[in-house]
Amino acid sequence: MHFEIRQADTHWAWVLLNDANETIAESDQTFPSAAQASTAALAFAHLVARAGKSLTVASPSGTLL
């Protein structure tokens, strides 16, 4: 997966694409600059990573399920 920062008229947005370039997620708002859209994409990635860690459950043997 990878992010793309796209221009939408005079504003910018981020889009998360899979390996087949299909849209997985996209920003629900636009940003005045590409840098702000990129920062928002990074923040989204951090939130998803944190959510993924909270879904990880250890079994009694110590392995991850």
pLDDT in tens, the chain (65 residues): 999 999 988 999 999 999 999 999 999 999 999 999 999 999 999 999 998 888 766 666 666 55
Q: Whole domain around residue 20: which residue ranges?
A: 2-46
The answer to whether position 24 is within a domain reads: yes
Provide the whole-model pTM.
0.76
**H/E element holding 60?**
none
The answer to whether position 42 is within a domain reads: yes
> For the chain, what is the domain count?
1
The answer to whether position 63 is within a domain reads: no
Helices (H), the chain: 34-55
CATH of the domain at 11: 3.30.160
Q: Is 61 left (phi over 0), alpha (psi -120 to 50) or beta?
A: alpha
